[in-house]
Amino acid sequence: MKVLYFLLLSVLLVSCGATVGIDYDNQTNFSQYTTYNYFPEIKSGLNDLDNDRIIKATDSLLQSRGFVKSETPQIYVNFFARETVSNSRNTIGIGIGGGGGNVGVGVSGGIPIGGREVNQQLTLDFIDADKDDLIWQAVIDGSFKEKASPQQREAYYVSIIEKAISKYPPKE
């Protein structure tokens, strides 16, 4: 039952419309890279719990694609995020109106529902460890509820990183 809940939550979050843009060095032969590790000092701007969620999701997805985590990697993975908090765009409308003749007057307003959202732009960099050059970058725009549970946050990170990693290596 717990797995079904996690999958349902993942599908819901994926359908929420996180967008991924990628950029890469078109002179790079991506098939030469088979090992990875994380940049020695990641300054993501996120808390340690979210950093661990991102690392766990990235490890799982890269290893499922045949990459091996190594102490002497060919690729360093780095990530950082920018976050803003906004009120939910979902509202309940309330209106008052009246009129007669050819004159009408109306007043309306919206009451936000669903709580505040964290809008996040997560950047995932792949850096050639020997050359210290950026070879691939994904910029992911997504959002989640400010009061999301740990399971919801984990499902969010799995879904957005999966969406980004699916675009690696870039198609020529």
The 10s digit of each residue's pLDDT in 56-81 is 999 999 999 999 999 999 999 999 99
Query: Which among 122, 123, 33, 41 has a CA at the least distance from the CA of 69?
Result: 33
Residue 163 parent element (H or E)? helix 150-165
* Contact of 55 with 95, CB cutoff 8 Å: no
85 confidence band (pLDDT: 50, 70, 90): confident
Mean per-residue pLDDT for 46-61?
A: 97
Average pLDDT of the chain to the nearest whole number: 85
Q: Say if residue 26's pLDDT is above 70.
A: yes
12 confidence band (pLDDT: 50, 70, 90): very low
Evaluate the CA torsion angle 88, 92, 98, 99 in order and state its sign.
positive
Question: Looking at per-residue confidence, does 154 or 90 come out higher?
Answer: 154
Q: Beta-carbon neighbour count of residue 46 at 10 Å?
A: 19
Ranges 53-62, 104-113, 115-124: which has the least confidence: 104-113
Domains of the chain (ranges; CATH) run 2-88+114-165 (3.30.160.670)
Mean per-residue pLDDT for 13-42?
A: 87
Evaluate the CA torsion angle 80, 16, 154, 146 in order and state its sign.
positive
- Return all residues near 21 (Cβ < 8 A) that are at least 6 apart: 138, 139
What's the pLDDT at 113?
63
The 10s digit of each residue's pLDDT in 133-169 is 999 999 999 999 989 999 999 999 999 999 999 999 9
* Contact of 118 with 87, CB cutoff 8 Å: no
